A = this chain, B = another copy of it.
C-alpha cells in the first residue's frame, strides 16, 4: 500500500513517474514462454524484474486476464502477489455499479485473504455516481482512479458534452473531488489531449493523474508534462504495448528494459526541468 507521500518519494528516488502496463496477449508474447506452466505470469515476472527500478507503478489490465478464463485469473493473482511493494499496483478494471455490487468488486481486487489479490488502486467508471465509487474508498488506504477524460475516439461521444458551463469530464472531477481528497482519488486523463491538462488542473490541482496513451496511443510526454505536471509531479504516465512488446524474441525483457529506460530518462529531464528533483 502506497500513500501519497510514499508515492511522491518513490518518484523522486527513481526519477521516474512511469507506470508499466501489464497487458499480456498470448498471441504476442515470445513463443518460448509457452513451455512454462503459466506463460502469462512468466512474461509478467520477467517484465517486472527488468523494469522495477525504472518505474513507480504497474498496471495489469483486467480484461486481458479475464479473456483467458480461470487460467487468466490465476495469472493475474500470481502477478498481483509478485508486484514489488515499493511500486503502486493498479488494477485497470474500469468497474462501477450500485453500492453493494461495487463493494463486491472492491473485495475482488482489494481483499487478499479472499481472492489472493491486494492491489493499491483500481480504475473506476463514473457513470453511476457516488454510490458506485465510495465502496472502493471504504478499504482503508486504497486509491480510486476515476475515468475523467480518455484518449480514444469514443471520448468525444459523452465526455465532451457541454453540461452548463462545463464539459462532462470536468463535472465528473468537480463532483468526485467532494467524495475524496487527493490522498485517495486520482483521475484518468488521456494523453492525446495535452492542452486539456491546463483545464483539468483548474479543478484538480493536487490530484495525481493517470495518463495512458504514451507510445502506442500516440501522446507526447513533453506536452503532458508541460500542461499536466504539478509541484509534486502529479503524473503517473503509463506505457503498455511499447514496453511489453519491444521485442518478441528471447531478449524481450532486455528490450522492455531498454524502452523503459528510454522513457525514464525523458521523465528525469522533465522532473529536473520542473525543479522536482
> A residues bordering B, Cβ < 8 Å?
61, 63-64, 66-70, 72-74, 77, 92, 94-99, 101-102, 104-105, 107-108, 111, 114-117, 125-133, 147, 150-159, 161-164, 168, 171-172, 175
Contacts and interface: CB of A to CB of B under 8 A. Distances in A.
A152 B99 contact: yes
A113 to B, nearest CB: 10
B104 A129 contact: no
A107 B67 contact: yes
Contacts of A73: 69-70, 73
A161 B171 CA distance: 9
B154 A63 contact: no
Contacts of A68: 114-115
Contacts of A105: 63, 66-67
A74 B98 CA distance: 24
A49 to B, nearest CB: 25
Nearest to A70: B73
Most central of A61, A129, A156 by chain B CB within 10 Å: A129
Contacts of A133: 154
Given A77-B69, A162-B164, A129 B157 contact: yes
Contacts of A74: 70
A67 B154 contact: no
B108 A129 contact: no
Most central of A73, A94, A171 by chain B CB within 10 Å: A94
B116 A69 contact: yes
A152 B127 CA distance: 12
B130 A154 contact: yes
Contacts of A67: 104-105, 107-108, 111, 114-115
